[in-house]
Amino acid sequence: MKVLVIGSGGREHALVWKISQSPEVSKVYCAPGNAGISEQAELVSIKTTDLSGILEFAIKEKIDLTVVGPEDPLTRGIVDLFESKGLRIFGPTKRASEIEGSKAFAKEMMKRYGIPTASYEIFEDSEKAVSYIQEKGPPIVVKADGLAAGKGVIICRTMEEAIGAIDRIMVKRIFGEAGRRVVIEEFLEGEEASYIALTDGKTILPLASSQDHKPVFDEDQGPNTGGMGAYSPAPMINEEVDKRIVEKILRPLIYGMEKEGRPYRGVIYAGLMIKESQPKVLEFNARFGDPETQPILMRMRGDIIPLLEACIDGNLSRFRIDWDPRAAVCVVMASKGYPGDYEKGKRIEGLEEVSQMKDIFVFHAGTARMDGEIVTNGGRVLGVTGLGRSIPEAIERTYQAVKKIYWEGVHYRNDIGKKALRWIDQNRA
Ligand code: AMP
Ligand code: GLY
């Protein structure tokens, strides 16, 4: 079987790495991929937004299965396009992926189907948005409705910040059309977790739990990023919380999407805020998380291909997933300046030595090959991922590997996984 993976980040490297281990797969392509992905897949130089280019390639190469990494091609309708040509593709349709593409739609779905989330209002008029903020007061959260590369959420701790956020999103349109509407919502306290599941539109098959680390600096300081590291499993999600997430959040959502004529097949990712074991939804994503996928797939045993195919064929109820009981930790190594402007083309050292380490894998994100060497080519550059018998052991082993890798200006968080330790101590007590 020939498989095409779309995307170029750490998530896509993890998918390619896992897919290439399938006995059913003879060849993996990745468009556009990165230097690390080129070890397991043939790179195809087509942008993720060039849907007709990707389609043409899939037809020409007789691709049996296409797997979509990022949200952008999904919300542009790549799944609809492929299906209309009779090609097999893993992911939700355009109308289904609106659960990520429009925060207003996601909030309305949650309201209609009784899914716990922050209270909110939607505005198309900036003056009305400002009066609502004045009525509610800070802290308050302002979100651009559409996709804004993960930057469209502004947490406002003062009235000035909140009014400034409306001005930037709705009046100055810093996120373009994505800011035509805003969702203004209640600020939620608690701890965040990522809950990712596969679904064929009826059955929900959860992946192992995980937790991301969004702020750029240790102790959750500094601006938000795409994610500076993740670990799995997340001990905060015990059996009771897990059941609550499936029954009160995912099941009503998948039922609701079907009922509204937007049957949902693919991955559904719920970004959650959990307080006193009660989960509330911050957002839904229509794709695998990045970097959560890296530790999750390190722990997945067995073949991923039958699972992806079952989501397309509607027979997911026949499957279960076997997880490595060990913990996995992924530390993202980033370019100087990220999440702001950063430089590219810095030579990366130490990869060869780390590739010899047992139960460590370095997933590449922003890397490229230049004159035979691997250089930085993005903000998030590598996701060093390691397994250990416990979370503390996985943390230690992963950081041993991280410390062997270097380039000019590299930075990373030193406390990935530390949040889990508190829960482990509590569970033990
Ligand atoms: P989102 O893209 O909606 O997940 O938002 C990005 C980040 O903003 C989340 O990971 C949270 O850290 C934070 N956030 C979003 N909504 C809220 C909220 N209602 N209360 C507190 N923090 C939030
Ligand atoms: N790790 C956050 C995301 O994938 O959206």
The phi, psi pair for 79, rounded to 5°, reads: -70, -45
Q: Are 357 and 385 in contact (CB under 8 A)?
A: no
Q: Which helix (H) or strand (E) holds 53?
A: helix 51-60
Task: Say which ligand is closest to the CA of 147.
Answer: 1
pLDDT tens by residue, the chain, 429 residues = 999 999 999 999 999 999 999 999 999 999 999 999 999 999 999 999 999 999 999 999 999 999 999 999 999 999 999 999 999 999 999 999 999 999 999 999 999 999 999 999 999 988 999 999 999 999 999 999 888 877 889 999 999 999 999 999 998 999 988 889 999 999 999 999 999 999 999 999 999 999 999 999 999 999 889 999 999 999 999 999 999 999 999 999 999 999 999 999 999 999 999 999 999 999 999 999 999 999 999 999 999 999 999 999 999 999 999 999 999 999 999 999 999 999 999 999 999 999 999 999 999 999 999 999 999 999 999 999 999 999 999 999 999 999 999 999 999 999 999 999 988 777 665
Would the CB of 200 count as within 6 Å of ligand 2?
no
For a mutational test of ligand 1's pocket, the pick from 100, 140, 153, i.e. the residue with the most ligand atoms closer than 8 A to its C-beta, is 153
Would the CB of 121 count as within 6 Å of ligand 1?
no
The phi, psi pair for 231, rounded to 5°, reads: -145, 160
How many residues make up the chain in this entry? 429
Would the CB of 214 count as within 6 Å of ligand 1?
yes
The 3-state DSSP composition of the chain as helix, strand, coil percent (nearest 5) reads 35, 30, 35
b vs e for 363-391, b when ≥16 Cβ sit within 10 Å of the residue's Cβ? Answer: bbbbbbeeeeebbbbbbbbbbbbbbbeeb
Atom of ligand 2 nearest to the CA of 287: 4
What CATH fold (topology level) applies to the domain 327-428?
A: Glycinamide Ribonucleotide Synthetase; Chain A, domain 4 (3.90.600)
Task: Please enumerate in sequence order all residues whose Cβ is within 8 A of that of 372, keeping only pairs 6 or more positions apart, or say none.
Answer: none
296, two tokens:
């999750």
CA atoms within 13 A on the CB side of 280: 17
What CATH code is assigned to 2-97? 3.40.50.20
Class of domain 191-323: alpha beta
What's the CA dihedral at 349, 37, 331, 399 to 10 degrees? Answer: -50
SS3 category, 68: strand
Task: Tell how strand 65-68 and strand 2-7 pair up.
Answer: parallel
Would the CB of 388 count as within 6 Å of ligand 2?
no
Would the CB of 53 count as within 6 Å of ligand 1?
no
What CATH code is assigned to 119-186? 3.30.1490.20
What is the CA(290)–ligand 1 centre distance, in A? Answer: 16
> How many other C-beta atoms lie within 10 A of the C-beta of residue 232?
32
What is the CA(206)–ligand 2 centre distance, in A? Answer: 17
DSSP E strands, 221-265: 221-224, 229-232
What is the CA(13)–ligand 2 centre distance, in A? Answer: 15
What is the CA(343)–ligand 1 centre distance, in A? Answer: 28
For the chain, give every domain's residue range. Answer: 2-97, 119-186, 191-323, 327-428
The Cα–Cα gap between 131 and 176 comes to: 23
pTM of the model: 0.95
Would the CB of 292 count as within 6 Å of ligand 2?
yes
What is the CA(44)–ligand 1 centre distance, in A? Answer: 35
Nearest C-alpha neighbor of 211 from the set 357, 415, 364, 393: 415
Task: Please enumerate in sequence order all residues whose Cβ is within 8 A of that of 20, keeping only pairs 6 or more positions apart, or say none.
Answer: 28, 40, 41
Write the Ramachandran bin of 74: left for phi over 0, alpha for psi from -120 to 50, otherwise beta. alpha
Q: Are 365 and 378 in contact (CB under 8 A)?
A: yes
